[in-house]
């Protein structure tokens, strides 16, 4: 029997990755750039071609209704649900699973492997401090997509078992990254080239800045506000 992730991946592979007419120009630009980055990265590393080109990261304060954005994400994209201990994590998780299941959109859960199992999620995203847990998670759930945050420091063996790293902040960003210096594209490229697995770009990326990431080595784009804005629901 195929797993939920297999079914979703198949749905994404079979879908024509062109957005419908009701998507904004911003959504088209962001998605197009993410696809271009992923294609270039996949030509160098086939592993990158198995990853979602675009990752939407939730945040309890900045994305209060993430299921609405989830329902608009195109087939092939991914979503990282970061509950941050919120009391309604299970309820929100089920709403996100309902919005992504069968649409070719992969659902990852931030840190909480038990919640990921309960929701039949497609994987787990680890904070940098928990990166070393990836190897054990890989042995436990070999079919899961495993990613981890990374801020550019030495990796040692901590990245073993990961499918991808999410490096930030590339550009000046808000939220918890507001006080951190931006890496810039060149520093990002050097770290991505040296990394043991594909690397997403996160932090301050929008439809315009995405064009600066060409030849950066990024396997795709990750974002919070820019993705939520670009893929906001159509109001009638």
Q: How is 43-107 classified by DSSP, letter by letter?
A: HH-GGGGGS-SEEEEP-TTT-S-HHHHHTTSPTT-EEEE--TT-TTHHHHHHHHHHHHTTTT-EE
Question: What six digits make up the tokens of 185?
Answer: 């594209």
Supply angle C-alpha 112, 195, 33, rounded to 5: 80
In DSSP terms, 165 is beta-bridged to 148, 199
The HSE-up count of residue 28 (CA atoms within 13 Å, CB side) is: 8
Q: How many residues does the chain have?
A: 236
Q: Which residues contact 50 (CB under 8 A, 6 or more apart)?
A: 9, 163
Per-residue pLDDT of the chain (236 residues; tens, 9 = 90+): 344 444 544 444 444 468 999 999 999 999 999 999 999 999 999 999 999 999 999 999 999 999 999 999 999 999 999 999 889 999 999 999 999 999 999 999 999 999 999 999 999 999 999 999 999 999 999 999 999 999 999 987 789 999 999 999 999 987 765 578 999 999 999 999 999 999 999 999 998 899 899 999 999 999 999 999 999 987 76
All residues at 6 or more sequence positions from 86 whose CB lies less than 8 Å from its CB, including other chains: 60, 92
Work out the widest C-alpha separation in the chain, in whole angstroms. 51
d(CA 76, CA 52): 5
CA distance to 78, 81, 121, 126, per residue, from 162 (Å): 16, 18, 16, 10
| Whole-angstrom distance, CA of residue 24 vs CA of residue 230 | 7
pTM for this entry:
0.91
pLDDT of residue 177: 56
Q: What is the pLDDT of residue 5?
A: 46
Domains and CATH numbers, the chain: 4-230 (3.20.20.70)
Contact 107, 43 (CB under 8 A): no
Count Cβ atoms below 10 Å from residue 157 Cβ, excluding itself.
10
- For residue 110, give the 3-state DSSP assignment: strand
Is residue 161 within 8 Å of residue 138, measured between CB atoms? yes
């Amino acid at each position: 029997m195929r797993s939920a992730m297999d079914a979703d991946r198949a749905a994404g592979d079979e879908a024509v990755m062109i957005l419908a007419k009701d998507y904004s120009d911003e959504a088209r630009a962001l998605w197009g750039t993410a696809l271009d980055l992923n294609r270039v990265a996949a030509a160098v590393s086939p592993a990158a071609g198995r990853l979602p080109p675009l990752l939407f990261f939730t945040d309890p304060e900045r994305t209060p209704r993430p299921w609405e954005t989830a329902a608009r994400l195109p087939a092939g994209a991914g979503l990282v649900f970061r509950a941050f201990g919120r009391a309604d994590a299970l309820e929100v998780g089920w709403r996100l699973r309902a919005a992504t299941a069968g649409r070719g959109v992969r659902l990852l859960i931030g840190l909480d492997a038990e919640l990921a199992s309960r929701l039949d999620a497609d994987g787990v995203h680890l904070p940098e401090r928990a990166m070393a847990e990836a190897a054990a998670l890989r042995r436990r759930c070999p079919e899961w997509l495993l990613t981890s945050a990374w801020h550019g420091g030495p990796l040692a063996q901590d990245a073993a078992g990961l499918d991808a790293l999410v490096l930030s902040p590339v550009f000046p960003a808000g939220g918890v990254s507001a006080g951190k210096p931006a890496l810039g594209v060149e520093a990002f490229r050097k770290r991505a080239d040296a990394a043991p697995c594909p690397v997403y770009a996160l932090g301050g990326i929008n439809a315009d800045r995405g064009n600066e990431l060409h030849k950066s080595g990024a396997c795709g784009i990750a974002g919070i506000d820019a993705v939520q804005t670009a893929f906001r629901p159509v109001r009638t």
